[in-house]
Each structure stands twice: as structure tokens, then as C-alpha cells.
Amino acid sequence: MKLPKIKFKIWHGFLLLALLFIIPPLIITLAQRWEVSDSDPDRGAMTVKQDVFGDSAGKIVYLEQNWKPEQSLWFYTTTQGSNLLPYDFFLVLEQADKPVLFRSDENINSYRYLPQKKTSSNPDALPVGFVKDNYLGKDYMGFTCAACHTAQVNFKGTGMRIDGGPASADMQGFLNGLTAAMTAVRDKPDVQQRFVNAVMKLGAYSSEADVIADIKTYTLRLTSYNIINRSAVDYGYARLDAFGRIYNRTLEHLLNRQQLKEVLENVLSEEEVKAALEGIGQDISSADRDKIIERVATTEKNIAKLRRELFIKGDAPVSYPFLWDIAQHDYVQWNGLGGNGGLGPLGRNTGEVIGVFGSLDWHEGKRFSLTSLLAGQGWTKKVVEYDSSVNTQNLRRIENQLTELQSPKWPEEILGKLDQTRIKSGKVLFAKYCVSCHAEIDSRSPQRRVVANMMQLEKIGTDPTMANNSVDYLGYSGILRNQYVGAGVGDVLLDKKAPIAALLTKATLGVVTTPDADKGFIRRWSEWLHNIIQALFGNEIHDSNKHGDYKPDTTMTPYSSLQAYKGRSLNGIWATGPYLHNGSVPTLYDLLLPSICPTDPQDAECRPTIFKVGSRELDAEKVGMKSSGYEGYNFDTRLHGNSNCGHDYGTLTPRGPGELPKPTCVHEADTKLPKESSDLPKLTKQQRLDLLEYLKSL
């Protein structure tokens, strides 16, 4: 008589699991399908009357990329958990030097973000990729993927919006300008009163004292962030040291009290250390972090000292990668850091949100543990809690939508007809010079796959700063100390200081596998289960070995394969200048030239040493953005991290038998690399133009 009773209980147990973990995800999926969609035919696009660089775009068009208007607008306005500034602050904030809104279309456009008009999904007319987020009951302005991965290319009065294209944005300049505006609010009584009055009218704050307190907090956060990530070389437009900033935010939020105390003792007096840590417990919350920064940041010199001790140099800016085919890759990022199988896409996108101001409430906690109890250590064991604002539900959905995005075709009705004879000749040259690293794919096929071809630094010869930084730097492990992280060739034990790649891997995995603390219990756990199942079983890309000529990881050097750069398919490459991973070559034509001019005056073409960046106007002949004739940012390839060396296939005369390798560059950034010229024959000017015509057609 007992057996049926047991079966009855088991049946009810399965029913309960279904109610909790299967039905809610189905409801969530159905609810998402019924979301209010914004199908504005213009996709919210608008132009400005006066462009800071003199660009002209009287009308905006969208090229065919397999996205409908509602898909573009959803991509622009779907939050991922980025919390840069209180939302009402951003709505009313004025520019530092004049009483004009900081978010005015002209000012936003000057930083090369894309202004938008008001639509149903964007009622406050925020720029592309700027969005309202809510975390723990408070509204914030933050970024979406679209801020850095939506492009506009102009040609003779027509602006072409490119979904998934690399933005021309100057995020470094934007954040400096935002900080200056907030500093003016903090320090100028008349500006502050006008700001407080405007914020109070919007109704999110209950008192002026709360507004003033947040003015102080967020001005300090922005100021310290800019100092921590200060680079000796300005990034300029169309690039950012995203990894450096992601790493630094990770290092900042891993610190525990003991390690912070040890670091502070290296740079401050005993009295200053005591004052900085007064009332701070072992776990350092976001509020504690604000207190510590306020107490330590009495001078910029003190913050700079902490930067040198705690953080890495953010001196390796790279171009924003284009996103079409990203979901079909085996490995992503310029140096192949991110595997795209399994949970890889969620981890990659989580790292991105960490970098763009996700709220991170990481701390050490205790949980019930049967193992700990049986070992005689009590009911609980110490664990790391990874609570954050990161919206893994939306990150997964964004990645899913990107599977449908296709590269833009050269629009002949706007940019002119392509020469089919030259294309045929160029295709032969592409097969000889390019295809071994840049595979040709059917960009319209839903079954396409993209194999990243990795090339070690010594062979490719391009600026090594970004790749080297990802391997060479160590950071304090803090709350992760003594934990293990898989590295493909075995587990890495995290010591007091550990490789930053290992720390980021461990932290992102922790966030991905943590249910959203900002949601109710049932929704939190059902969404978590749904996301994990979808990510693991819905991802058609599986973990696989890297391809190419790179230094393999070993147990002694578990991250050496990251000292390489990726060659990917080049479909849509015409819309993605400037070129090379660090944006150091303005056009594709220049990329087919040597980095140093030959001595022969009859063939004196070479890559420009200094050129302008900032214009969106396309040079349709050389294929790249206009790089002279206006007041823009001077890109100087002689500076650290800016080298335009390497990738010299077809640009040099091959060396003869027994000749030594010919140096192709003497720029500061890569003097440590042995230079080896390509054995491919040097391209003639006609061949360069033919190859360029074929690249336009991809």
C-alpha cells in the first residue's frame, strides 16, 4: 500500500517542477512575442542641420540587411543592464559651457553617436543605443549594443544607416564631456539649482537633498573612471580600448577589504588608510566603494597612484567590430578571446555590459552546503555572489536576433556601378593573396559558418598592444582568490594576483549562472533556467579548436594563443573603415600599400602616417572614410598603440634567396617583433584597383 503513495508524491514533484520551471518560460516566450513593436518606417533616423565635420546627409536610407524596421528599433532600444547615470539626470543635463542640453542632437552628433526622433519605443528621442534601464527600482540611462555597433556612411548627401556596423563614436570624448557637465552642476551654484529644479519636476526624486547627493556620487564615479582609464594616446573616433575598460571594471569589483587595505598601504599614509576604510566591512558594496573613492580621491594624484597599483593601462584602442556573422563565428574578438560555443555568447555579452557600466554587486556570502556540514565545517560554506544589473534574458535575445543580420551590399544606385571585368580579375587576386586568411562565405545563407583564422603577432606584424595586454597583465584576484578557472589546457588556480583573462572568464561565468536578483523568485529562477537551456542547447556553434598559425596554449602559458589576431570573412568590408584592428589605415586601397614609402620616386605610394578621422563621408574610390580636408582628429600612426605596420601581403617586393627579412616598420609599438616580408609578388597599381573592386562586391 505504500508504493502507490510514493509514486503519487513523485508525480506531484514532477508537476511542481513543471509549474515552476517549464510553464513560466513558455509564458515568458509568448509574452515576448506579443511585445509592442515599433515599426516606424524611418527607424527613427534623423539628421542634423550643421555637422561638426561638414558632412552632408539630407536623407537617411537603410540598406537591405534582412532586418525589418521593428527589428532595428528593437535592437536600438532593448536594455542590457547598463546604468551610467540616473535617467532624469541625463534628460535635463546641460553642456558644461552653455545652457544647452547635453543630449541635444548637435552635441550627440559631435561625438558621432546617431540622433533619433521620438518613436513609440523611444519616447524621449534618445540616440541610437541609448536606453532607459531600471535596476532595484531606480531608472538609469545606459547603453545597448547598438551604440557602438550601428554605423552611418554618407555619400553626396545620402546617409546610409548600417545595422551592426562599427560606430564612428568617440566614447572617450563623450565621457569626458559628460564628466565636465556633471562637474559644472556640482561646482556652480546657479547651474546646480537649475539642474535640481529640472530633475525634481520629472518626479523620480522625493527631495532636493537626494538629487544633490547623487550629483556628488555620479560626478565622482565618472571622474575616477576617466582617471583610471586614462590613456597617453587619445582614442579619437571609431575605436575604444573596450577590453582595457572591461578588465578594469572587473578588477575594481573583485577587490575585498583585505587586498584593498594592502594596496592602500602601498600608496597612502597609515592615517589615510585608516580613514579610507573606517566603517567598511569585509564585503565592499557599491555604496562602500563610493565612500572609499570619496575619501581617497582628495587629489588626482592619489587616484593616479591607485590606478598604477590596481588597474591596467587602457592604451590599446581597437575598432568596433562589425556584428554581421558574429553569431556564426567559432571564435570572436580581435584576438580570438571568446569561444562562441555553448555559453560563450552569453559570457561575451556579459563582459560587454560589465564594461558599459552594468551595476555589479559582487560579494562574498554564505550558503547552505551539505558537503560543508558532512565535513564538520558547519551548515554553510563561503561562496561568491554575482548579483548585478546584467540582463542575461535580453542578451540572449539580442544574440538570437543577430543570427538573422546580414552584411550590406555595395548600393550601386548610390555609390555607382561596379566594374564586372575588374571584379573577375580581382577575384583571382583574392584567391591568391587573401582567401587563406579571409574565407569566402555565402553571406545570405542561414547555414553559413565562419572559421576565424588566427595569425600570431610575429607573422601578421600589426600593432601588438591589444593582444599583448590581454596576456601580459595581472590583477588582484580579491574575492576570487584560491578559486579555479578552466583554461582549455587545465585549470588555473587564482593566486593573489592572476591573469586578467582568467579573472574576467571566472567573473562573467559567475554572472551568467546567477539568477537575476532584481526579479521575483519564480520569474528569476524560471528565466534563469530558460536562458541556460536555450544558450546550451539552442546554440548551433559548438566548442572547437582554433584554426590558423598561432602559438598554442600550454600548461605553462595557458593564454599564449591570445597573442594573435583574427582574419575573418570580408563581406560588407566596404562599410567598415578605418582598417586593421586598431583603425590605423584609413582606406582599403591604403591597406594594399606598404607602411613605409619605397625609395623609388616612381612608385612612392604608401600608407599615410597621419590622417583625419571623424567624417562619415565615404571615399568610394579608395573605399574608406574621408581622411583629409576637414578639422577632425589627427590619427598619428607613430604613437604607441597606433602602428599601421604589418599585413603587408602584396605590398613589398619579395626577398631573394638568401636575403635577410626586410623590415617593413620601425614604429615604436612593434620594435620588439621580428619583421618578415611576404613572399607574394608585389601588386601593381592596376591589380590593387582590381582587388579593391572585388572587395567592394563582397
Question: Between 392-402 and 521-537, two packed helices, what is the crossing angle to 10 degrees?
Answer: 30
Average pLDDT of the segment spanning 23-48: 70
pLDDT confidence of residue 321: 94
Show the domain range for 608. 414-442+572-698
| Alpha-helical segments (H) within 375-439 | 392-402, 412-415, 420-433
Average pLDDT of 503-519? 89
Q: Does position 3 have pLDDT exceeding 50, yes or no?
A: no
Mean pLDDT of 428-433: 96
Q: Are 423 and 697 a contacting pair, CB within 8 Å?
A: yes
**Residue tagged 570572436 (cell numbers):** 332
Alpha helices (H) in 139-278, listed in sequence order: 171-187, 189-202, 208-228, 242-254, 257-267, 270-277
Query: Can you tell me the mean pLDDT for 10-21?
Result: 55
User: Considering its fold, how many domains does the chain have in total?
Assistant: 2
Give 90 or 47, the one with higher predicted confidence. 90
Tens of pLDDT along 522-559?
888 888 888 888 888 888 888 899 999 999 999 999 99
Q: Phi/psi at 131 (nearest 5 deg)?
A: -150, 155
Sign of CA dihedral 648, 650, 652, 653: positive
- Residue (of 648, 74, 156) closest to 394 by Cα position: 74
Q: Is the pLDDT of residue 599 over 70?
A: no
pLDDT of 122 higher than 50: yes
Rounded to 5 degrees, φ, ψ at 690 are -65, -45
pLDDT higher than 60, residue 147:
yes
Q: Using CA atoms, how far apart are residues 111 and 143, in angstroms rounded to an integer? A: 15
Cell readout for 629 is 580636408
Angle at 561 between CA 555 and CA 567, to 5 degrees: 165
* Three cell numbers, residue 42: 524611418
> d(Cα 223, Cα 182) in Å, to the nearest integer?
9
DSSP-assigned letters across all residues of 297-330? TTSHHHHHHHHHHH-------EEPPP-TTGGGBS
Q: How far apart are the first and last CA of the chain?
A: 73
* 3-class DSSP assignment, residue 553: coil
Residues with Cβ within 8 Å of 4's Cβ and at least 6 positions away in sequence, in order, are none
Q: Which residue has the cell 555637422?
A: 51
C-alpha grid cell, residue 648 = 603587408
- Mean pLDDT over 480-484 rounds to 92
The pLDDT confidence band at residue 249, using thresholds 50, 70 and 90, is: very high
Amino acid occupying residue 127: P
Average pLDDT score, the chain: 88
Rounded-to-integer distance, Cα 500 and Cα 224, Å: 21
Look at the pTM and tell me if it is higher than 0.85. Answer: yes
Rounded to an integer, the average pLDDT of 428-454 is 93
pLDDT value at 75 more than 60: yes
Q: Would you report the helix, strand and coil content of the chain in percent, each value rounded to 5?
A: 40, 15, 45
Share of the chain above pLDDT 70, in %: 89
Mean local confidence (pLDDT), 360-372: 73
Its sign, for the CA torsion 226, 231, 234, 237, is negative
Classify burial at 98, counting beta carbons within 10 Å of its beta carbon; exposed 0-12, middle 13-18, buried 19 or more.
exposed
Give the pLDDT of residue 4: 42
Is residue 198 domain-resident? no
Tens digits of residue pLDDT in 218-234: 999 999 899 889 998 89
Residue 17 is assigned to a structural domain of this protein? yes
Residue owning grid cell 565618472: 222
Confidence of residue 33 (pLDDT cuts 50, 70, 90): very low
pLDDT of residue 668: 43
Q: Is the pLDDT of residue 23 over 70?
A: no
Residue 325 domain-assigned (yes or no) = no
CA–CA gap between residue 125 and residue 690 (Å, rounded): 44
CA 508 remoteness from chain centre: 14
Cell of 209: 537633498
Q: Per-residue DSSP letters for 555-572?
A: SSSTTGGGSEEEE---TT
527-536 as b/e: b if 16+ CB within 10 A: bbbbbbebbe
Task: Spell out the residues 6+ positions from residue 420 whose beta carbon is closer than 8 angstroms to its own.
Answer: none
How confident is the model at residue 417, as a pLDDT? 97
For residue 59, the SS3 value is strand
Compute φ and ψ for 472, nearest 5 degrees. -80, -30
Q: Within a domain: residue 584?
A: yes
Residue at 405: amino acid letter: L
For residue 101, pLDDT beyond 70: yes
Residue 697 inside a domain? The answer is: yes
Assigned C-alpha cell, 225: 573612471
**For residues 451-463, average pLDDT:** 93
549-568 confidence digits (pLDDT tens): 999 999 999 999 999 999 99
Q: What is the pLDDT of residues 637-679, one digit of tens each?
A: 999 999 999 999 988 777 555 554 555 565 444 444 444 455 7
Residue 503 falls inside a structural domain: no
Amino acid 357: pLDDT: 95
Is residue 303 included in any domain, yes or no?
Answer: no
pLDDT digits (tens, 9 = 90+) for 294-316: 888 777 777 777 888 889 999 99
Strand, helix or coil at 187?
helix
Q: With bands split at pLDDT 50, 70 and 90, how would you rate the model's confidence at 36?
A: low
Mean pLDDT comparison of 45-49, 258-262, 407-411, highest-scoring range: 407-411
Checking if the pLDDT of 193 tops 50, the result is: yes
Task: Determine the pLDDT at residue 674.
Answer: 42
Look at residue 664 in the predicted model and tell me its pLDDT.
Answer: 55
Q: Residue 1: its pLDDT value, please? A: 37
- Please report the pLDDT score of residue 8 as a whole number: 47
Of the candidate ranges 183-197, 352-366, 410-424, the one whose mean pLDDT is the lowest: 352-366
Is residue 488 situated within a structural domain? no
Q: In this predicted structure, which of 161-175, 445-459, 513-527, 593-607 has the lowest mean pLDDT?
A: 593-607
